[in-house]
Amino acid sequence: MKRITLLGLAAITGSLVFWTANAKPVTYSLPDETAAFKPGPNLDVVQANCGGCHSADYLSTQPQGEKFKKDFWQAEVTKMIAVYGAPIADADAPKIVDYLTVTY
């Protein structure tokens, strides 16, 4: 039984070495961005903090209207930091909220 196990292990190891030695990098092209953050106050802060995790399209999927203004966006930014671990500096969070409130 030991001999079969060792032979099987040797076969697996040999296969892995063969496939690893012959592996080629995968390349692909992403489509062009179809949306951009709308111009507004602190746009640079939003692009630097938000654009790394999601596209501007994400904002268009959020609820809209007068009741979804500053309190709504404050809660969203807080959630991004507290729940999703967004590395947003304390000084940038209010700037992002202001941008979202005014622009969306």
Q: Which helix (H) or strand (E) segment is 76 a member of?
A: helix 70-82
CA-to-CA distance for 68 and 63, rounded, in angstroms? 7
Q: Determine the pLDDT at residue 70.
A: 95
Q: What are phi and psi of 71, to 5 degrees?
A: -65, -40
Rounded mean pLDDT, 57-80: 92
Model confidence, pTM: 0.67
Neighbours of 92 (CB within 10 A): 19
Read off the DSSP letter of residue 45. Answer: H
CA-to-CA distance for 76 and 34, rounded, in angstroms? 23
Read off the DSSP letter of residue 24. Answer: -
Domain ranges of the chain: 43-103
pLDDT at 1 over 60: no
| Assigned CATH class of 43-103 | mainly alpha
Q: Determine the pLDDT at residue 35.
A: 83
